[in-house]
C-alpha cells in the first residue's frame, strides 16, 4: 500500500489555450485548497503524515480532473 502513495502523481491541469494564462493561478489555488482541507482533516481525524499526503494528492487530482473535464468543451473551436 505504501508504494501506491509514493507512485501517485499529480494530474496536470490542461486548460484550453484561451485560458492558458490562468493555469498558474488555478494550479496554485488548487494546491492551496487541497492543502487546507487535508491539514484540517489531519488535525481532526489524527491522520498520519502519509495519510495526509495521500489525501492532499487525491483532492488535488480530483479537483484538477473536474476542472479539466468541465473546461475541455469550452474551446474557441467549439463555440
Number of other CB atoms surrounding residue 33 within 10 Å: 14
Q: What is the pLDDT of residue 3?
A: 42
pTM for the full predicted model? 0.82
> Rounded mean pLDDT of 17-39?
95
d(CA 28, CA 34): 10
pLDDT band at 5 (very low <50, low <70, confident <90, very high): very low
pLDDT band at 9 (very low <50, low <70, confident <90, very high): confident
Number of other CB atoms surrounding residue 34 within 10 Å: 21
Number of other CB atoms surrounding residue 54 within 10 Å: 19
Residues 66 and 9 sit within 8 Å (Cβ to Cβ): no
Per DSSP, the three-state class of 11 is coil
Amino acid at each position: 500500500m505504501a508504494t501506491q502513495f509514493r507512485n501517485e502523481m499529480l494530474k496536470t491541469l490542461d486548460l484550453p489555450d484561451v485560458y492558458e494564462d490562468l493555469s498558474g493561478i488555478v494550479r496554485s489555488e488548487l494546491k492551496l485548497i487541497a492543502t487546507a482541507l487535508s491539514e484540517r482533516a489531519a488535525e481532526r481525524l489524527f491522520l498520519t503524515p502519509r495519510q495526509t499526503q495521500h489525501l492532499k494528492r487525491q483532492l488535488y487530482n480530483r479537483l484538477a480532473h473536474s476542472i479539466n473535464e468541465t473546461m475541455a468543451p469550452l474551446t474557441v473551436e467549439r463555440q
